[in-house]
Chains A and B, each alone.
Chain A
Amino acid sequence: MTRSAMNPVAFLTRRRGGKGWHWTDVVTFGWLALSLVMIFGPALWLLLSSFKTPAQLAEFPPTILPYAAQTATVETKTGPKALPLYTVELPDGSSAVMAELNRVGIMANMVRPEAPDDPVKVNINARKPLREVAFATDNYTTPLKQFDFARYLRNSVFVTTMATIITLITNSMAAFALSKYEFRGRNGVMMVIVATLMIPLSVNLVPLYSVVSSLGLMNNLWGVILPTVATPTGVFMLRQYMLTIPDELIEAARMDNASEWQIYWRIVLPLTAPALAVLAIFSVVWRWNDFLWPLIVLSRKELFTLQVGLNTYAGELNVQWQFILAMTVVSIIPVLIVFVFLQRFITAGIAGTGLK
């Protein structure tokens, strides 16, 4: 069944082998629909929330779209002012749109915008704010103006690129040695590499800190980059892929007087391209998302990566959620771009890599 030949109607009504609806078709359809909602629904909710004002974020029940109070310009004694509008239930049972002059306790002084000299006292329970859809873009612009955003971005890009390049080079060299040569201790090296998967960073912070600090790499972008480049996953994945490259190719090259270095970069590396692409994409995403480690290594603002810089809104006593949400969205955008443009490489690459 080719993808291009089918229109949506045909898709919706298509059945397994054309023999009527089979239960597996129902499951397929249901699963895909549910997944779409479950995967993008929450992310969409975060996006919409990031455009809400702090007061609106705390509101329950929440609204789907961000709203702001509608205002009207009213001539007051002290000149024209933009005042919030409410729908007020008047004592005679009618309702009217009125602006609030001020509020004292539970009573508010309200006026009709067209008759500003005739205030009425209204209980605040007898009115509802009049609102309109409005995106609180302040959540984005305020932090972006306050920060040296361009510098954080540059640092993040530098860390991500350098870490990825070094990861690709060192991991592929090690994987080449571990897959194409027989030598004593090979299994031992593999075991050590796999075993290091067992200790996550969050439990190894303090020892790693002592190492990086004694190397003088604190407050240095290389202190962020280097500890991450020897990923066991990368070596493991590339090695598995290289094992599928036939040894005859390499033997033939040796006959042609190729050096081992040439075999590595002219034969094995090009043939490993799909797996390298997958590792590259993973590395970019991992390094971009890194948070805890850069936070520990970098304490000077000119060195902050995006993830560290965006976190300064978490104070001791107060967290400014409206900024945190907006900045989270900002930090996802590059990942989304990777996702949209490279998803074919990622998914096809993993499929090709096999990871068997």
Chain B
Amino acid sequence: MTMQGEAPAGAGNPAPQQAPARRSIGAVLAAPVGLLAHLLDGPMRFWQRLAGRGGMIAFFLLPNMAVFALFVIVPLGINVAYSLSGGTQLFLPSRSFVGPENFARLLTCDNHLAPATCRDDLFWIAVWNTVRFVALQVVVLVAVAMTTALILNRSIRARGFWRAVFFFPVLLSPVVVGLIWKWIFQRQGLLNWLMVEMGLDPVNWLTDRTWAYVFSVGISVWAHAGFYALILLAGLQAIPRHIYEAAEMDRTSPARAFRRITLPLLWPNLLVVIVLALIRAVQVFDEVYVLTGGGPGTSTMYLTQYIYETGFASTLRNPGVAAAASLMMGGVLVVLTLAQIALTRWRDRQ
């Protein structure tokens, strides 16, 4: 590979199957970037000579890690400081150190399974609501994404179109998702109209605990399934056809082929999907907040809403307690993720 050609950044693409017109647009867009990168050649070579390859690694990592440190790590540190201090003030110097008091407030319970016996009952209501949400949502989400991926992997007509259809909700902002469904589930919404048209009595969906819970799961699956379906589809397409052809010759049923071939070969993708889905499910907030506001009562108030309202949105802010809760949530997520990865490693070794 020579370095002399003036080829634009896209020219190295090993699969030059794009239409000429499209490539030229890409070339036009890439040209200024290419020129800039070209102009940087000299200084970079100088810097490499000066700092060695290690210096170059640092250089590549620096911009991203600097932003990262400033806007992710530092706030995390501030959060730790918040969690150990009390008062309603937002700025650290004016807050008083209280030690683990905020954690104690959240964790003090006679019986952790019964929120009513806890000092901060709303926190534990939110915790158990979130557990219930995650348990159902992840299962339904993975099932829907898997079904969709399997169907999109069949030789259906207009597959590109269908892939795009499932991807549409992923492009909408959570607030819009919540708004769209609010207009359907509210007392005077589309769903009740359909009920009336079918001769049934309208139901006040969002004031019913069970329905509100089911719908909160439903809309979050609606909003995210398309994304996970595409990840799974990518995995499915990487499975060589001939394995299935062999199975078909052996008259293996589709269900058996799925269990014996698809599932094991798809496992890496499935793991990514489950981990990501789990993380996002624990953090559920915006779309449900717009739809139910956490109601009826507190039955769809999930952890992120509790933290957001405690630390930020209510008139009486309590940033210490909110920070303690968010750190605990993050901690649980890290443990869950590590456990899942460890489990997979252990399984692979077996």
Contacts and interface: CB of A to CB of B under 8 A. Distances in A.
Indicate yes or no for A touching B, C-beta below 8 A. yes
Contact of B164 (A14, A265, A347): A347
Given A27-B151, A62-B190, A328-B176, A261 B40 contact: yes
Given A202-B304, A267-B1, A207 B79 contact: yes
B113 interface: no
A90 interface: no
A46 interface: yes
Contacts of B322: 203, 206
Contact residues of B: prevailing secondary structure: helix
A351 B230 contact: yes
A130 interface: no
Interface string B296-336: 00000000100110011000000100110110011001100
Contact residues of A: prevailing secondary structure: helix
A32 interface: yes
A338 B156 contact: no
A350 B12 contact: no
A206 B171 contact: no
Contacts, number: 292
Nearest to A210: B78
A206 B71 contact: no
Interface residues of B, number: 110
Interface stretch (A69-77, A149-157, A222-230): A222-230
Interface of B: 1-3, 9-14, 34, 37, 40-41, 44-45, 48, 53-54, 56-57, 60-61, 63-65, 67-68, 70-79, 82, 90-92, 147-148, 151, 154-160, 162-176, 179-181, 183-184, 187-190, 192-193, 196-197, 222, 230-231, 233-235, 237-238, 254, 268-269, 272, 279, 283, 285-286, 304, 307-308, 311-312, 319, 322-323, 325-326, 329-330, 333-334, 337
12 contacts: A31-B148, A32-B156, A59-B188, A61-B196, A62-B193, A174-B60, A199-B329, A206-B78, A230-B71, A267-B12, A325-B183, A344-B164
State the 6 A-B residue pairs at the shortest beta-carbon distance, nearest first.
A289-B173, A270-B12, A261-B44, A207-B75, A207-B78, A174-B64
Given A177-B60, A354-B238, A356-B269, 7 more contacts: A42-B180, A206-B323, A259-B41, A270-B10, A289-B176, A338-B171, A339-B164
